[in-house]
Structure 1
Amino acid sequence: MACGGFVCSRYTLCALNILYMLVSLLLIAGAAWGKWVDLVSSFRVVAAIIIVGIFLFFVAMLGLCAAMKHHQVLLFFYMLILLVVFIVQFSVSCASLVINKEQQKLLLEIGWNKSEVLQSDLERSLNCCYFSEVNYNGTCKASCVGTQSCQPCSDKMLEYADDVLHFVGGTSLFFSFTEILGVWLTYRYRNLKGSRLNPRAFL
C-alpha cells in the first residue's frame, strides 16, 4: 500500500504520538531529577514542568488510542487539542525569538519578584546578588559576598537570556511544526477507509 494510504497514515500518527510520549516522560523525569539533586528548589517551577509533561502525555495517549481504533470522535478532539496547542506554542516560540534586551530585562524582573526561593536559587547558581543593584548589607546566598565582588543578577541573567530564548524558541518552533503535521495527518486519517472495513459501515 502507498504511504498515503490507511495503514501508513495510522502508523505515522502512532509514531508521532510515541515521540510526544517520550518527550513528556523526559520533561517529567528532568523536573523530578532537578528537584531530587536540589538543582531547582522552587516547587512551582518543578510542578509547572511536570504538569506540562503530564498534559502532553495524556494528549499523546489520546492520539495513540484514537489512531489505533480509528475512532472518529477521539480523532476529532485530538485534532482540536493539537491545533490549540500549536497556536499557543507557535505564538510563544515566535515571541521568544524576536524579544529584545529591554523586554528580556522586564520579563526577568517580573519573574524575579514573584519568588524568593527562585531568587536564592539564582544567587547561588549564578554567584550574583540582588537583581539590578548589589546590597552587601542584605541577605544574599552567593559565595561572592565574602569578597564583595558580586555582580547584579540581571547582568548575569542577560548574558544567558539570548541563548536560552533562542534555544527554547527554536525547539518550540520545531515541535510546533510537528503538531501542525499531526493535525493534517489526523484530518486526513479520519476520512480514510480501512481496507478491512465494510464501506457501508464508514461514517
Structure 2
Amino acid sequence: MACGGFVCSKTSLCILNLIYVMVSLLMIGVAAWGKWFGLVSSFRVMAAVIAVGLFLFFVAIVGLCGAVKHHQVLLFFYMLILFMVFILQFSVSCACLAINKEQQNLLLEIGWNKSESMKEDLERSLDCCDFLQVNYNETCVATCFKNQTCRPCSVIIQAYADDALQFVGGVSLFFSFTEILGVWLAYRYRNQKNHRQNPGAFI
C-alpha cells in the first residue's frame, strides 16, 4: 500500500476525524463536568464551550462519513467548512500571540464588566475582589473579604494572562495546521479512484 494511495488517504482522513470527535466530546464533557460541580456558574461560558464542541463534532462526523463512503458532496462541504474554520482559528491564534499589554488590559476589563457570574467565579477561585481597586463597602464572595486582606483581581489575572494567551495561541495555531492538513487530505482523497471497485465508476 503506497502512502499516497487511496487506502492510505482514506485511513488518514478517518483517523484525523476520529481525533476531532474525541476532542469535541472532551470539550462537551469538561463543560458539563464544570457546571455540574459548580466550577463554572456562568451559563454563557458553558453554552459557548458546548456549542463549539457540538460544531466540531458535526464537522468531524461529516468528514468521517465522507471518508468512509468516498462521498464527493460531503467531502466538498467538509473541505469548505474546515477551511473557513482554519482561517478563523489561525487569525485568533495570531491575535493571541501578538496582543500587547495595553490591549490585553483593555480586553480583560471589558470581559470583567460583562458578566456578574464570571466575576463571582474569578473572585472565588483567585481569592480577590473587584478589578482595579477593592471596595470593602460592597459585597464579595472571596474568603479574603472577611479579613479585608484582598488584592484587586486585575493584579492576579494579569500575572497569568500572558502565559494563558501564549498557551491558547500556541494550541490554537497547532490545531489550525491539523485543519489545513484535513483540507489537503480531503482534496487529495476526493480525486482518487477506488481500484477495488469498478475502475470506470468514478464520480
Taking structure 1 as the reference length, the TM-score comes to 0.98
Corresponding residue of 1:13? 13
Aligned equivalent of 2:4: 4
Letter in 2 for 1:89: Q
Q: Which deviates further from its counterpart, 143-152 or 31-40?
A: 143-152
Structure 1: where are the runs of 5+ without partners?
none
Q: Does 1:192 align with 2:192?
A: yes
Secondary structure class of the residue paired with 1:141: coil
Within 5 Å, which residues of 2 pair with 1:53-202? 53-202=53-202
User: Residue 199 of structure 1: SS of its match in structure 2?
Assistant: coil
Q: CA RMSD in A?
A: 0.8
- AA partner of residue 131 (structure 1): F
What is the Cα deviation at residue 137 of structure 1?
A: 0.4
Unaligned runs of 5+ in 2: none
Shift of 1:140: 1.1
The SS at the match of 1:109 is helix
Amino acid in structure 1 at the alignment position of 2:133: E
Please list the CA deviations of residues 27-52 of structure 1 after superposition, one character each: whole Å capped at 9, or x if unmatched. 00100111111111001000100010
Greater mean alpha carbon deviation, residues 137-146 or residues 177-186: 137-146
Counterpart of 2:96, as a letter, is S
**TM-score normalised according to structure 2 size:** 0.98
Residues of 2 paired with 1:82 and 1:90: CA distance? 12
Question: In structure 2, what is the Cα distance between the partners aligned to 1:145 and 1:183?
Answer: 52
Match of 2:29 in 1: 29
AA aligned opposite 2:4? G
For 2:119 and 2:160, the matched residues in 1 are separated by 16
- Identity across matched positions, percent: 71
